[in-house]
Structure 1
Amino acid sequence: MTKADSGDRERKSDRTRRRILDAAADLLSRKGFDGTRVSEIAALAQLRVPAVYYYFDSREAILEEVVNIGDRMAVDNVRARLAALPPEATAMDRICAAYAGHLEMVLKESAYTAAAMRTLGQLPPDIRARQLEHQRETGQLWRDLIQAGVDDGEIDPGLDPRAARMFLLGAVNWATEWWNPERGSLDDILATAQRLIRNALSGPGAASPPGTAAQGAASPPGAAAQGAALSPVFSPPQL
């Protein structure tokens, strides 16, 4: 066998493996961990079941890799968005960029990232333990972002930082359940999410951003109306 033949075979093997993972991610994001079967993965990947087991030892091994990929894609995108910010970005700017980066992957790459986020509570104990080990660094990233906002006075001191962080992560992780790209662009959704996050975390105890009137100082005309316009308003869904 020539090196070219070996390379072709490796590339074909990689493509087949990716087909299996793509199929598993699609099923996992829709059916959850317990509802995803190897026979369904094989059918969606247009393979026979024995071929799937040639690449993976078990159903759990396939699904664990999907979760790992989805989690890694989300973290990488968050870090990329943070790295793209200018040096003068505030703690709140960084928080909003991070949540937007996470949400972008939940919606844009929903098969993998949504599968990872949806199934965290469904994983068997051994897989869950490995996931928690992988996520310690990620968890510290989110804690540091929120704590920086608290330290800089940009987050309402009346908020519980951990609860605020988890509420917001839960909200963005759930977005895949209702978002329809035909009813709003990804950019619009990300912009809306950042605005809501900024408003939710800021409060009467938060420090004024640079260049704005100090707390307690006279507000410029129209400031109250502008503040009210920034507050998220709940509207009941049309039934």
Structure 2
Amino acid sequence: MPRKTIAPTDQESADSKSARTRARLLDATAKVLARKGFSGTRLSDIAEEAHVQAPAIYYYYPSREDLIEAVLFAGAKAMHEFLTERLAELPATTSPSDRLAAAVEAHLRHELELSDYARAVIRNANQMPEQFSRRALETVAQYNEIWRGLIEDLAAAGLLRSDVEPSVGRMLVLGALNWSVEWFDAKRGSLDEVIAVAKSMVLHALRP
């Protein structure tokens, strides 16, 4: 016998529809933002991607900037959670080198394969007016702190080159990984190959 369900009230149905529309708008904005950037993203593009009328967007968000801010914050939060989860899955005995390699793979796979939101953050967080980018940038800073810890663990284990200043090394690594959103094309090459090369280059550049 099928389980019985309680029919939603009119208000519950409206709330559910509203939540679905809001989610669709966020997904559409992430796609457009990742592709066209902050200055090139128009409400008409988002509306077309989300299959809604452009004026309807103002029912959910006061402005274009508020909608983009919501996407960037969601993307930064997802990046932080994804990396945290991947590192938590590693055995406690995992070496600092292997943890760093796992972080490289998580970063690339998330931004290049799994998340329009991550690409939107990486390409646009620094282009937004400060009042709209503050939440996202604070979360990105927390994400960077994870990387700071990975590099510090490498140094503590005697596995960081003596001529590499940890903060500079971290920023150069993240800068190189982030730049891949500008050139990677899945139609022209394998993401697994990119990840393998990135791991090798990062570890060879940082370790003695």
Instruction: State the alpha-carbon separation in 2 of the partners of residues 136 and 71 from structure 1.
Output: 9
Are 2:34 and 2:120, in contact at CA under 8 Å, matched by a contact in 1? Answer: yes
Instruction: State the alpha-carbon separation in 1 of the partners of residues 57 and 149 from structure 2.
Output: 41
In the TM superposition, 1:139-154 aligns within 5 A as 139-154=144-159
Shift of residue 9 of structure 1? 2.8
Instruction: State the alpha-carbon separation in 2 of the partners of residues 43 and 58 from structure 1.
Output: 17
Instruction: State the alpha-carbon separation in 1 of the partners of residues 31 and 203 from structure 2.
Output: 32
- Residue 50 of structure 1 aligns with an amino acid whose one-letter code is P
2:165 is the counterpart of 1:160: yes
Cα deviation, 1:108-164, whole Å, max 9, x if unaligned, reads 134210110111220102123333333332222111111111111111111121111
Instruction: State the alpha-carbon separation in 2 of the partners of residues 135 and 172 from structure 1.
Output: 14
Q: Give the structure 2 partner of residue 172 of structure 1.
A: 177
Using the size of structure 2 for normalisation, the TM-score is 0.89
In the TM superposition, 1:82-97 aligns within 5 A as 82-97=87-102
Q: Give the structure 1 partner of residue 39 of structure 2.
A: 34
Are 1:24 and 1:63, in contact at CA under 8 Å, matched by a contact in 2? Answer: yes
SS in 1 for 2:125: helix
Q: How many residues are treated as equivalent by the alignment?
A: 202
Specify which structure has the bigger relative contact order, considering alpha-carbon pairs within 8 angstroms and separated by 6 or more residues.
Answer: 2
2:103 is the counterpart of 1:103: no
Shift of residue 64 of structure 1? 0.7
2:71 is the counterpart of 1:58: no
**Structure 2 residue ranges without an equivalent (≥5):** 1-6
Structure number with bigger Rg: 1
Query: How high is the sequence identity, in percent, across the aligned residues?
Result: 39
2:125 is the counterpart of 1:124: no
Q: Give the structure 1 partner of residue 80 of structure 2.
A: 75
Q: Give the structure 2 partner of residue 231 of structure 1.
A: none
Q: Give the structure 1 partner of residue 120 of structure 2.
A: 115
2:196 is the counterpart of 1:187: no
Task: Note the aligned Cα RMSD (angstroms).
Answer: 1.8
Shift of residue 186 of structure 1? 2.9
137-146 or 154-163, larger mean C-alpha shift: 137-146
Q: 1:186 to 1:6 in 2, by over 3 A?
A: farther
Instruction: State the alpha-carbon separation in 2 of the partners of residues 91 and 169 from structure 1.
Output: 17
- Residue 113 of structure 1 aligns with an amino acid whose one-letter code is A
